[in-house]
Amino acid sequence: MDTPRITRPRRGWARGAMVGVLLLGLAAGTQAPAAATPSGTGKTVGVKKPTGATEEVGPDGRRTYRGAIDGADYKVVVPARWNRTLVLYSHGYYPEGFPPPADSPGLANHPQTAEWLIDHGYAVAASDYKGKFGYTVEPALTDQIALLDWFEGEIGKPRRTVGTGQSMGGVVATSLAERNPGRFSGVVAMCAAYDFLGYMNTALDLNFATRTLLAPGQDIDIVRPADPSASAGVLAAAIDEALKTPAGRARLALIGSFGNIPGWYSTYDPKPTEVADQIRAQATWVQGAYTWGNGPIGRADIIRRAGGNPSWNTGVDYGRLFARSSQRDLVVRAYREAGLDLKRDLGKDLAALAAAPRISADPAGVRYLKRYGVVAATTPAPTITVHNTGDGGAPAYGERWLASQVKLHGEPAKLRQTYVDRGSHCAFTAAEEIVTVRALIERLDTGKWPSLSPRRLNKAAAGFPDAYQVPTDFLGEKPRVVSPAFAPFTPGLPPRPSR
């Protein structure tokens, strides 16, 4: 997709925050699919009205509770015939300055997903977390458990609790199960960056390379600027300028290679085939998710929470990062199309990076993100993940990192990973989300994973009505129906994993 270039810092930050982090899914229809089969039904459960909460009873007998626990707003819906399973949803990152979605807190990525769960007997719950905005993993881990405690005390103890979440919420859901063994029966993690410490190192690499190669000689503080928005604006402008020439685009491809950033940005359009179009897509990811989203602005929020900068590039060999990148071939093609010599010109650019002054991390910042941004990968409960192949905001290499860590610290038999062949971040349809959740439920019901072949998953997802076939999209394109797109996929290597 060729998206409009960022022309103004504030507008650019808005676009970057929208694509680099996850808000909530598009609001479409909420009619449940008639053809869907309930996972289970139960007897009508008597529900006690919680003290301090508001309660609404719907015409179908469902009860909706709203309230706050220690300053964190929550919402809970219990169907009239509860099947004794609770789905606890963890939302993604809300950027500072953006209002949360309507009817916040949301109960799923798509309203259709929540409706399907409720109509099939599941209770659903979510906290908005204290503070709500920014990198709120730390309060989320406390507030979601407080909500679970409230539910068990006021509504009843679930037979099983399933944690779900997207983007930052996927990290929260995974960590909740790890830190509270026995309280979660399963996890559905979507489009998550499980090693956020490594991810922020990659964000530093991309900003460092942009400053060095595209804005040489400019005094741009990318870690602790006095005006984070201004620093991000200068970097974004340098990217815009580089897009104008073949040589500039070649260097943009090199920058993107350090983060394994895919040359695919659109939710709806197929992956570009032309080199220049792939680089424009990469540049939009770098500019949006890493310059505006998790560049100086997002880093300031984390430094404030962590008590120090968590990222470093001391000792990093950018030549080695390039050599093992999944985007290496695109760089080679870009330099050749620009008429540049690989040995001379590419070597010169890598030498400039090698010679540039490095950035050190603060121990407090590293400790904080290790604690609140890197999952343990112990898989105490069955876990299924789903990721877009063309995600450049939280690239799919994080799934490869997770699988490698589960082999070391957990039980690989409890982990299953699926991929949806689509560009953008968290660009799943409600149908794709529901069949992923159903796969986990079948694992919990039978003790065995069902077949997760893309063909089977796509067939199951295709059985839902059109209202369930519209993906999340952050670019504001006109929503439209797409076909289910589960596909086999092997992500590239994580560029700078924390362990």
pLDDT digits (tens, 9 = 90+) for 242-258: 999 999 999 999 999 99
Res 13 pLDDT > 70: no
**Cβ neighbours for 273, distance < 8 A, ≥ 6 positions apart:** none
- Asked whether 323 and 378 are in contact (CB, 8 A), the reply is no
Nearest to 2 by CA among 237, 289, 276: 276
Strand order in 123-127's β-sheet? 54-57, 63-69, 72-78, 123-127, 85-90, 160-166, 186-190, 383-390, 415-423
* Domain span(s) for CATH 3.40.50.1820 in the chain: 18-192+377-468
Q: What is the DSSP letter of 360?
A: P
More confident residue, 141 or 28: 141
Instruction: Tell me the average pLDDT of the chain.
Output: 90
Residues 6+ apart with CB under 8 A from 126: 74, 75, 88, 89, 90, 91, 105, 106, 107, 147
Nearest to 222 by CA among 213, 237, 209: 209
Question: Considering the entire predicted model, what is its pTM?
Answer: 0.89
pLDDT of residue 9: 33
Measure Cα distances from 206 to 52, 93, 292, 296, 436 in Å.
48, 21, 12, 12, 33
Distance from first CA to last CA of the chain, Å, rounded?
34
Tokens of 356: 């540039």
Please compute the mean of the pLDDT values over residues 422-450 and round it to a whole number: 97
Please say if the pLDDT value at position 274 is more than 50: yes
- Split at pLDDT 50, 70, 90, the class of 477 is confident
pLDDT above 70: residue 283? yes
pLDDT score for 98: 73
Q: What type of residue sits at position 476? A: G
* Spatial contact of 335 and 345, defined as CB atoms under 8 Å apart: yes
Who wins on pLDDT, 9 or 446? 446
Is the confidence at residue 39, as pLDDT, over 80? no
- The pLDDT of residue 104 is 80
Q: Whole-angstrom Cα distance, residue 171 to residue 461?
A: 25
Q: From CA 466, how far away is CA 272, in angstroms rounded?
A: 26
Q: Which amino acid is at 444?
A: L
- Residue pLDDT, tens place only, 106-163: 999 999 999 999 999 999 999 999 988 899 999 999 999 999 999 999 999 999 999 9
18-192+377-468 is classed CATH 3.40.50.1820: yes
